[in-house]
Every structure is written in structure tokens, then in C-alpha cells.
Amino acid sequence: MKLLDYSFSTTIDFSSPVRDHYFVLRCMPSPSHTLRVLASNLVIEPEMRYVRQTDSYGNLMAVGRKAEEHARIGYHSSGTVRIDFNWAQPDVPHPIFRHSTPLTEPDTALFAFADHLGTVEDPYDVNAVDNFCLHAMSGVHETMVYAPGTTTIATTAAEAFAAGRGVCQDFSHILIAALRQAGVAARYVSGLALGEGQTHAWVEASVDNFWYGYDPTRNQAVDETYIPLARGRDWSDCPVERGSFVGLVDQIQTVHMSVKEHVEQ
């Protein structure tokens, strides 16, 4: 069991004012069997009305609108969560997590890579599936070079794999492609992790109907120091912010985040 304090802010500065700004944020931890939200606070500046909703994946969203002109928007999400893997419950994966998406569709090279990883010996044996996922995770980690700035949010798994470099999003897409190829249901997770200075991404795979986390960027199994914010088939289901506004502008985005172990006061 871990108690974690998190703090996560995003500020977007527009080069000139925008109006009729609608947004959907996925920047709050969503409660699950293993994650209990003890405190959660979301401040949006300038002040805007918003409602909390849950999407089809169970992700908590803040949905709102600012009609008046503004040149900056800031979201500050903070709180405390309690994560305990002993509370894990079985969860039959939706079959959608077995199908590829435009961002995770393998090409010939990625097919070959997935093939080379081998197969799950016994899909009903927890250890066999877990070992395969760990093996695939290390495979991705060893093949890829971590190189920020070389890819974008639109880079596909196949493109990043061909370039041999990328960031946590690309590593995760490649691992998802490989796992789905082996018949393992896999989903993308965006979130925060202890010791990371930026939002992070990793993969969850369905192991005997339990979701196990794998972090191909750090080459480690996900433990209780990871805070999921959103889950989906790939990155496009989990953006921290989606917006639509009127205005032809440049945007500069600044992100600050921290995760610390909670200390009782």
C-alpha cells in the first residue's frame, strides 16, 4: 500500500485571445479497485464552469466552457490517493483492447518484431502471461532509444519502431501492438509516476482477467507508485486536454507535476 500526493498543472498561453473555448480534461485520477482517491482538487483559471463526467473507459473527465475572451488557461489538479494492489479484482477486458487502432497498427517490421518475441505458452497460466509481457516489455525497451523531441503525438507505433527512438508514448504503443499481436488484451495508460518530472505513459495487459501494468520506458513492472489518469486503446483516447475554441493563435503549453509519498501531518 502507498499513499501518494500528486500535483499536476498545465498552462496554455495563447498568442492572442480566444473565445468559445470548450474543453475536456482527463487530469484527475479515476477511482478503481486498486486506487482510492482520498482528496482531489481541480482549479481552472480563469474561472470556468465545468462538470465531472466519466467516459466509456471509466476515466474521470472535467467538461466545461469559457465563452468570454481569454489569452491563457490553466488547470491545476492535486490530491492524495491510496494505491493498494491487494484490492485488485478480476475485470474481463472489453474486446476492443484486442484490436489495433491507427496509432498501434503494426507494419511488416513491427509484425516481425512481435513474431520474434514468441507466443504465450499457456494463456490461462498467470505466470506464463506475466512472463511473456515482461519479456515483451524488455524487448521494446532494449530495441528503442529514449529520445525526447524525435516524435509527436501523431507518431504511430510503426513509425517510432522504424526510427528506433521515441518517448514513453511510443514505447507504450509498440508494446501494445506486440501484446495484441500475441492475443493479449492491452491498454494504454497515461498518468503520473513517482520520480517522473512529466506525465508518463505505460501499458496494462490483461493477465487472467486482472490488469497488470508494464512500463517499457523504465523497463519495470508497474508498482504502487504509479497514478493512472486515463486509460484507452491508445494515446488518442487519453489526452490530458482536448479543446476547441475560436481564434487563430499559437499556443505555448507549460506542464508542472510532482508525485510524493504522503507524509501524515
In this structure, are residues 261 and 1 in contact, taking their beta carbons and an 8 Å threshold?
no
**What are the backbone dihedrals phi and psi of residue 47, each rounded to the nearest 5 degrees, phi first?**
-60, 130
Nearest CA among 257, 241, 247 for reference residue 26: 241
Q: Which of 16, 39, 88, 99 binds other proteins (CB under 8 A)?
A: 99
**Least distance between other proteins and beta carbon 25 (Å):** 10
Interaction between residue 22 and other proteins (CB under 8 A): yes
Q: Which of 65, 72, 116, 135 binds other proteins (CB under 8 A)?
A: 65
Q: Which of 67, 88, 162, 252 binds other proteins (CB under 8 A)?
A: 67
**Least distance between other proteins and beta carbon 21 (Å):** 9
Q: Cα–Cα distances in Å, from 20 out to 26, 45, 90?
A: 20, 15, 43
Pick between residue 243 and residue 262 the one whose CB is nearest to other proteins.
243
SS (H, E, C) 92-117: CCCHHHHCCCCCCCCCHHHHHHHHHC
Pick between residue 51 and residue 263 the one whose CB is nearest to other proteins.
51
Contact range with other proteins by CB under 8 A, out of 4-12, 15-23, 107-115, 202-210: 15-23
Nearest CA among 199, 198, 196, 197 for reference residue 188: 199
Convert residues 172-191 into a mask of x (bound to other proteins by CB under 8 A) and - (unbound). Answer: --------------------
**Least distance between other proteins and beta carbon 52 (Å):** 10
Give the H/E segment covering residue 61: strand 60-66
Interaction between residue 237 and other proteins (CB under 8 A): yes
Contact range with other proteins by CB under 8 A, out of 46-54, 107-115, 158-166, 178-186: 46-54
Q: Which of 3, 63, 134, 255 binds other proteins (CB under 8 A)?
A: 63
Nearest CA among 165, 162, 163 for reference residue 141: 165
Residue 261: count other Cβ atoms within 10 Å of its Cβ.
10
Tell me how far apart the alpha carbons of residues 70 and 86 are, in angstroms, rounded to a whole number.
Answer: 46
Interaction between residue 49 and other proteins (CB under 8 A): yes
Give the H/E segment covering residue 200: strand 200-207
Site size toward other proteins, by CB under 8 A: 25
Interaction between residue 135 and other proteins (CB under 8 A): no
Contact range with other proteins by CB under 8 A, out of 36-44, 95-103, 144-152, 174-182: 95-103
Interaction between residue 204 and other proteins (CB under 8 A): no
Q: Cα–Cα distances in Å, from 28 out to 9, 52, 76, 87, 195?
A: 11, 10, 10, 20, 18
**Least distance between other proteins and beta carbon 180 (Å):** 12
Interface residue list for other proteins (CB under 8 A) = 20, 22-24, 49, 51, 53, 55-57, 63, 65, 67, 94-96, 98-100, 232-233, 237, 242-244
